[in-house]
Structure 1
């Protein structure tokens, strides 16, 4: 657990870089600034980080990222996580992911991905069928049509990994002030509940809080909040799952697949035959924890605020999908509500933004649920741009399959 505010160091009135927010994006910015030899101070309004970074699956997904900047950021982030695992003692599982095609139409999506995109953009994947599929977990998944095995994906147990990274950064000299609200930032001056502070650079990583700081600039981004229903379950048969599991439903959700012709056809079928899944934004993701149980989700509900009421019917839909895909009975251990900053239509608005607020202040925000996957590299690029005087990182539309893009990627 992170150090509570009553044992935080006295506030030093000056620092090189002040970071607002101690989620994965804020911590990654702190690590990037520390790497450049700067004095770093991090402010977090809660006694421990309680936002998107610890409410998620802990999945660092490379396989699902669309070609272009998102795939590049995910691969760069993977290398950073492995470095932190070595230096900071983060527990990182590198077994990759399994995306199961449960029927012929889902299999067609995986086939199109392999034919048009996988080799062209260097995805480290293979398509498992027949004996290779039956050989997984002693034949447990043999009833599925195929499986896409991604080998670049990592998994962290977020509620332990995020505090562990903060502790390591504190040991390297980063000063943390938990339980400290930053009320205003302007031209390198911060007004906080622990006192004033001045910084050469102020980086706001405020998650889905769009009103406390930089409200005018953030309002122009037309951000939303995404609310998710999440569960932690124990398999009744003791199944020792070592991979993250997805199904063809995820092909309509993740940008590596969702624009493919077969994926669009699959989305149409889901809307017609399983409208409740589309209505609640449900696809299946199952992530094993270090303790033999699994995190299962998720649903997606967009709005200006995260409504506090979870629907049991949504949990039931996700549990039924998990039981069907993995062939295990499940016992629910925990239920909670995930939340992250979002844009309902990410392709038009961008999956992230880095916004110049004033001469000394920038705000880095995620507008999708992949902060764990791309946040570390985005932070590294952001800090390097501030110090080197280069252009701030900017989201660009995904590269699409085709001869020109494939040649460029090669």
Structure 2
């Protein structure tokens, strides 16, 4: 994987951006037998793709195409994780419900097609199965088998390495793309030949065809995350944990009529109200070393500031204390991430010309939906269906 020179080509597809969306495009194109180069401006992937939970979320995604993309992307993760040496930290979701209004949302959700395979557990059987949940105030647990969790900061480099070594994808790091006019792509390392280009800029709105992104009225979302070492003992999560606030955050729940009453209840709650004001809903996942990744918040701006207010982190930790069977947390890492956002839109595939696609996930669901979205984009470029082809290994 080059960090200095770059092979001129020719390539069938040049991918601009080495985050999860770019990697997903490389995989989809290789399924069709295409020659692929990935051009990443940084020396390594340090963006949003490694600053997340690594939580492949299905349950709660927006009903319809987005939910189906999550199911498909989950299946792709299952297919590539083993060959790429990516460990699955745990599977499934446990959503701890602590309000009657939350129970009504869950019961409504289970009546939809999205509830297939999920169930609502009463407190006693839920705690017997998931003793890491806080029993105080627990009214029930929505259990889903659909989710997966990988360690993002390890999974993205390993997926990159596997694409290069096993699938023959060419990578060039530290390379800026200056102009895109297939079959010519101008880069800071010289021109390359590529028949088609997929631009996967993440939250960067300054690259080729950036002027077109302005028409989508994109903003940026800053989020807070923490890593906490658990207290000594046998604490072990077997699935990701969320709570009532997730039911008014994730559109697959929040779009249900019953969610309005839950929102009103949470806004009036002294503990939940401040969290809602910061766009916080709890996600807690556990890493192989026993540490917990906790988050997250959502603050929207055209240019998010670089600061991490303590009150936001405190609110996340308070939610974790109320939901998990742990009294306190020793925080070992704190970080922020930034992703592209657009009101009322999960993603976009922009088409500047027939041989160029500009693909942005605008809902913070890159790990959950990128593989499926890339299959749609690459399928358009090459008039094929990547999902119909096995992995070329």
Deviates more, 1:187-196 or 1:266-275: 266-275
Q: Which residue of 2 aligns with 1:149?
A: 143
**Is contact 1:67-1:121 (8 Å) kept?**
yes
**Does 2:230 align with 1:235?**
yes
Q: Which residue of 1 aligns with 2:169?
A: 174
Identify which of 280, 288, 291 aligns with 1:290: 288
Correspondences of 1:13-52 after superposition (within 5 Å): 13-52=9-48
Correspondences of 1:7-18 after superposition (within 5 Å): 10-18=6-14
Correspondences of 1:240-251 after superposition (within 5 Å): 240-251=236-247
**Does 2:204 align with 1:212?**
no
Deviations 1:6-40 (A, max 9, x none): 4xx53224211000011111001001111111110
Correspondences of 1:114-133 after superposition (within 5 Å): 114=110, 116-117=111-112, 120-121=113-114, 123-133=116-126
Q: Which residue of 1 aligns with 2:340?
A: 341
Identify which of 111, 119, 129 aligns with 1:136: 129
5+ unaligned residues in a row in structure 1: which ranges?
391-410
**Is contact 1:127-1:148 (8 Å) kept?**
yes
Instruction: State the distance in 2 between where 1:370 and 1:121 align.
Output: 17
5+ unaligned residues in a row in structure 2: which ranges?
386-393
**Is contact 1:188-1:361 (8 Å) kept?**
no
Report the secondary structure of 1:66's partner residue. Answer: coil
Instruction: State the distance in 1 between where 2:300 and 2:132 align.
Output: 39
Give the count of matched residue pairs.
379
Deviations 1:37-70 (A, max 9, x none): 1110000011111111100110000111122101
Q: Which residue of 2 aligns with 1:309?
A: 307
Report the secondary structure of 1:46's partner residue. Answer: coil
**Does 2:196 align with 1:201?**
yes
Q: Which residue of 2 aligns with 1:378?
A: 373
Identify which of 358, 363, 372 aligns with 2:358: 363
TM-score by length of 1: 0.89
Deviations 1:289-319 (A, max 9, x none): 1211111111100011121011001100101
Residues 86 and 139 of structure 1: CA distance in aligned 2, closer, same or farther (over 3 Å) = closer
- CA RMSD in angstroms, aligned pairs only: 1.7
- Segments of 4+ moved more than 4 angstroms: none
Q: Which residue of 1 aligns with 2:257?
A: 261
Instruction: State the distance in 1 between where 2:310 and 2:302 align.
Output: 22
Report the secondary structure of 1:364's partner residue. Answer: strand
Q: Which residue of 2 aligns with 1:61?
A: 57
**Is contact 1:133-1:142 (8 Å) kept?**
no
Report the secondary structure of 2:107's partner residue. Answer: helix
**Is contact 1:53-1:372 (8 Å) kept?**
yes
Report the secondary structure of 1:212's partner residue. Answer: coil
Report the secondary structure of 1:256's partner residue. Answer: helix
Instruction: State the distance in 1 between where 2:183 and 2:175 align.
Output: 17
